[in-house]
Structure 1
């Protein structure tokens, strides 16, 4: 290997490590995360994680809370995210559907998009029921397989594909009860049969969620619309009603996106997902 090639390879490795840290930061709670936890999540030793976090802080992509020694996403990261969100016209189209669903159901409704082996929450509309739950914040990232949204996005995939995704996400899913392969396989089968996925994350026993996937023209899973609330709001006999409302709005969003001119649809990356 030449010196130039080695330098290029090293640069790519550093970049990938920094990206893993940014993803770990995006999954951290609002109060931030400790160095040790971020290093473990990004599969880095503490010295490397500390060095990269220092650089990310210098660039404004991360922030260090001096009083508790925790790290959080920096304001400059949100500026970049805002620029990227301009490409996702689908989020703007989806907002009206979220408003209709939240008004009809009375519960909070979420819109999330697939991002590789993860999904990102892009929008939330709260309902009118006096007790609301917020299991996801706008901008939060979770692995595919986690929760009802993670199951809904896996359900349209072939068995070999979703099994491969779960294998790659295994370490992250192990942190949540009920995310074992057998439980997730059963949840995916139920989602295919029912037309909607249910909350599969037993680490949140007081919260229930139902989700419906949105597909592109090729039948690929791109995003999902979901409703969440306290357990009493999601009894078995009400789930079909919730699923029907979500499915109706999911189809409306799909149809609205498919009617866009090709240039606009491609700018939204609606037709170009894997």
Structure 2
């Protein structure tokens, strides 16, 4: 195997692993084939190779995340333990709004939902779940993250995501995302008009780390009738309050003891 072939195999294996993670930690072989674009033989070989290393397990016709993923997660949490810091903010947003609240982390050109908590309103939205991964600019959190980046970086991200957007997000264009980014900058919060999941609207704000780099986003999702203009202002105020609290917790977490 040449170095380039080895790199390709590694890239494909991680692609399969990420698909399992993004599907709630479990995926059938057919799901892996569909999402990866690889043939059945290659997909099965990669999945079984990951299973041999403990990264996946084969259970009742599906593949689930393996014990080695859990161990790596524990170790990584020492450096990226944002969940514990963001959990209180998400809980308060869900409690005070009555709707579904989220924390999403930026991962290069994507955003990954880490936390979700539902409020007590009976109408729930079928939007993000922990582990869900979307290109930046998709959903309220992704728009909020893009909105605080320089225009040049936004263009680079949208260009790099052209193919996945064309295949998996046909309702979105670079132009429509830029309009949403412009609106977010003007209003001080992002707004998703149910384009990703019909009936699921969202509002969000960015979260920055102590060095001023965008780390992720807090967002709230609700049905349309609960996100009219006046209520958008109320939820924006809640989100900005939690943004300040969370960013202060991040600063304290990095301060010398």
- Is TM more than 0.5 here? yes
- Say which is worse superposed, 182-191 or 141-150, in terms of deviation: 141-150
**Is 1:105 matched with 2:97?**
yes
Partner of 2:203: 210
Alignment of 1:128-207 (within 5 A): 128-174=120-166, 175-199=168-192, 202-207=195-200
Structure 1 residues 39 and 125, CA gap change in structure 2 (3 angstroms)? same
**CA distance in 2 between partners of 1:158 and 1:223 (Å):** 16
- Residue 66 of structure 1 deviates from its aligned partner by 4.3
User: 2: distance between equivalents of 1:50 and 1:201?
Assistant: 36
Deviates more, 1:71-80 or 1:161-170: 71-80
Residues 36-75 of structure 1 mapped to structure 2, 5 A cutoff: 37-39=31-33, 41-64=35-58, 66-67=60-61, 70-75=62-67
**Partner secondary structure for residue 137 of structure 1:** coil
TM-score (norm. length: structure 2):
0.87
Aligned length: 256
- Give the structure 1 partner of residue 243 of structure 2: 250
Deviation at 1:38, TM superposition (A): 3.0
Structure 1 spans left out of the alignment, 5+ residues = 1-5, 265-274
TM-score computed with the length of structure 1 as normaliser = 0.82
Give the conservation status (yes or no) of the 8 Å contact 1:199–1:210: yes
When residues 59 and 123 of structure 1 are mapped into structure 2, their CA distance, relative to the original with a 3 A threshold, is same
Shift, 1:52, TM fit: 0.8
CA deviations over 1:90-142 (Å, ceiling 9, x no partner): 32222222222222111121111111222222222221212333522223322
Separation in 2, partners of 1:142, 1:86 = 25
**Unaligned segments of structure 2, at least 5 residues:** none
Q: Could you say which residue in structure 2 is the equivalent of 1:123?
A: 115
CA-based RMSD of the aligned residues comes to 2.5
Structure 2 distance, partners of 1:201, 1:33, is 29
8 Å contact from structure 1 (residues 109, 126) kept in 2: yes
Q: C-alpha displacement at 1:39, in angstroms?
A: 4.1
| Deviation, structure 1 residue 8 | 3.9
Moved over 6 A (4+): none
Larger displacement relative to structure 2 (239-248 or 140-149) = 140-149
Q: CA 1:78–1:235 in structure 2 vs 1: closer, same or farther (change >3 Å)?
A: farther
State the 1:191 CA deviation: 0.9
